[in-house]
Every structure is written in C-alpha cells, then in structure tokens.
Amino acid sequence: MPAQVPVLIASYLEPAHVSRIAAVDPRVSILYDPALVPAPQYVCDHTGTPPSLSEADQARWETWLGQAEVSFDFDWQSPELLPKRAPRLRWVQATSAGIGALVRRAGLDGSGLVMTTAAGIHAVPLAEFAVTGALYFIKGVPHLLSRQRAHDWERYTTAQLAGRVVTVVGLGGIGRRVVATFAGLGTHVIGVGRPGSSYDVPGAGEIVSDLDAVLARTDVLVLCCPLTPETAGLVGRSQLDLLPAGAIVVNLSRGRVVDESAMIATLRAGHLGGACLDVFEEEPLPATSPLWDMDNVLVSPHSASTVAGENAALTELFCENLRRYLDGEPLRNLYRRELGY
C-alpha cells in the first residue's frame, strides 16, 4: 500500500463528515472542495445543482480525478469517462444502493473498477415509507381528507393492515427490513427472491421465487428489487390483473420494474386499491402524467430513502470500507456485475 492514498470526495459532504474520513488513517489524503461539486438542493442531496467551473477550477477537478485512487461517489461530470480521466482510480463508493443502471449506462461494467453500493443505508426509511403507503390506503386517508375538507362529520367503518398478506419482491437489505417491519405489524409476509437462491429472512412466513404464483392472495405488493434486465417490466398487466381487487402496490425499486401504463389503466378501472410510488419510468414525473391527479395514488419524488442522517450513515459505511481497503480486507456491499447490483 502506498504511503498516501488520494481520496476524492465527488459529491457534497458536510465538513464534519469529511474530517471523519480524513481521520481514518494517516495514509488518507483528501481531495475535496465543495465549490467543485454540485450544490445540494436539500439535506443529503447527492445530485444537486452542477457548478459552473472556471477554467482553473475545471483543471483542478481533472487533476484530482487523475490523482484519485479512491472516490466517494462517481464523477458528477462524466462517469462514463472515469477509466480515462481517472486512470489511477481503483474503487468507487456509491451513495445509492441501486447503481446497476448507471453502471451499465456509463459502460463501467466493462471496466476494472471496484464499486461498492450503499445497500442497507436506506432500509429503515424505505420500510417506513412502505408501511406509510399501505396504511394510507387501508386506513382510508384519502377519504378522511375529503371529508375533512368538506367539514363533514360522518362515522364510518375502517379496515386494518394486521392479518393481511404482504408480498415483498427483493430480499436484499431493503427487502429484509421491509419484511421485518410488516411482520411486526401482524401481517403474513411472503418474500420473493431469485430462483435457485436460498434465503433466511426473519419475519417471512414464506419464501418463493415465482411471483405470479402468490399474487392472487397478495393484499399489499412491495417492490424492493434492483432494476436488472430480468426485473425490467416484472410487473405488467397480467401481474396486476392477478392481484385481488383492492390490492395496493408500493414501488421502492425503480420505475421500469412496473409497466406504468398498465398500472394507470388498472388504477383507473378501480381494480387496485391504490399505488404508493417513490419511483417512475420517467423522472422527474412529467406534469402531464395522470398519476399526479389520481386520488388512489400517492406520489413521492424519489425521496423516500433520504433522511437527515443519511450522510452520517454513508460516511460511517465509507470509513469502514476505507479501513478495509487500506488493510487489504474484503469490502462491504461489493457491486456484482453479473447480477447488476
């Protein structure tokens, strides 16, 4: 291991978190200037507003790319040029759990870069959001809001989540937390994993690999799987039709896992009880999308995973992986090209 390991911070981090990374080991040399990375639009934003760099600042950024051996996040300018612009780069720690689409789009799956994901960092907030989405419709929040706006005091009979069947697709860090959270609320949880894989998922009443086989008894369908060639379009019209009337779909995965047009048609027909969506086929969701104005849809702007403590958790993960890297130990959350996550 060389005397100094240049570590590039490629997206915004608060000074205290940068200091934590610098303190991991005397060999760490930090390359970071918040003026050279996108400015966050909200707390823990890792996309942000790209800066307009002067010629001197652009040259400094490119110099740092050329020096970096490790990077916290991908190059915000041209991730597809990382192998060329960062020839010394060996490892990138991503700030997202789902990086497969970015890796494929940038052609990095054919590079020699080691990449690690943020898998598990967002599990708790996403599980909470999934429960929020299910309860939003099961407890009749849209009805309550309409009655409240009308100043209408009319007693009614509500429903309950406990005793229902919740099917969770994808049993990674997020899916496992979703399973445990729903199981703790008295539901019967079915976990859907990859064919040929074995799983030990606390809280799961069943583990299956055939999604279609369990849809007819699924009251709440929660999608947590990564977007891969195998999962693109996983839930289409035939799968939506298999769900019982009044079923709820919660998508924490990626928009393209669901056929959005088919889902809209099924919602309009009244077959689905509701859809709680954090992700969409096109983002930002176009203003012309009918999803915005449907009473049986809850729209979240791909923000369900982002909580105020995210950067602290990401920094903790990165620091642990950085220690492992410096000591030649296996890294956590290694991205597996053959699986796409």
Q: Low-confidence residues of the chain, pLDDT below 50? A: 1
Task: Calculate the alpha carbon distances from 32 to 61, 77, 94, 169, 208 in Å.
Answer: 9, 15, 16, 39, 46
Closest CA to 297 of 325, 258, 239: 258
Q: Are 117 and 103 in contact (CB under 8 A)?
A: no
Task: State how far Cα 60 lies from the chain centre.
Answer: 32
Tell me how far apart the terminal alpha carbons of the chain are, to the nearest angstrom: 28
55 as an active site residue: the answer is no
| Active-site position among 271, 302, 324, 337 | 302
Tokens of 124: 């708790």
Given this chain, do its domains 5-120+307-326 and 123-299 carry the same CATH topology? yes
Cα angle, residue 235 at apex, residues 231 and 236 outer, rounded to 5°: 120
254 as an active site residue: the answer is yes
| Active-site position among 17, 122, 176, 254 | 254
Q: What is the Cα–Cα distance from 160 to 168, expressed in whole angstroms?
A: 19
CATH classification for the domain delimited by 123-299, as one of 3.40.720.10, 3.40.50.720, 4.10.490.10, 2.60.40.10: 3.40.50.720
Burial of 134 (0-12, 13-18, 19+ CB in 10 A): buried
What is the predicted pLDDT for the residue at 2?
55
CATH superfamily of 5-120+307-326: NAD(P)-binding Rossmann-like Domain (3.40.50.720)
Tokens of 41: 């639009």
What is the predicted pLDDT for the residue at 309?
96
Q: Tell me, what amino acid is at 275?
A: A
Q: What is the Cα–Cα distance from 35 to 338, expressed in whole angstroms?
A: 36
Domain extent listing, the chain: 5-120+307-326, 123-299
Q: What is the Cα–Cα distance from 274 to 270, expressed in whole angstroms?
A: 9
283 as an active site residue: the answer is yes
Closest CA to 90 of 338, 341, 322: 322
| Active-site position among 206, 283, 323, 336 | 283
Q: Are 161 and 259 in contact (CB under 8 A)?
A: no
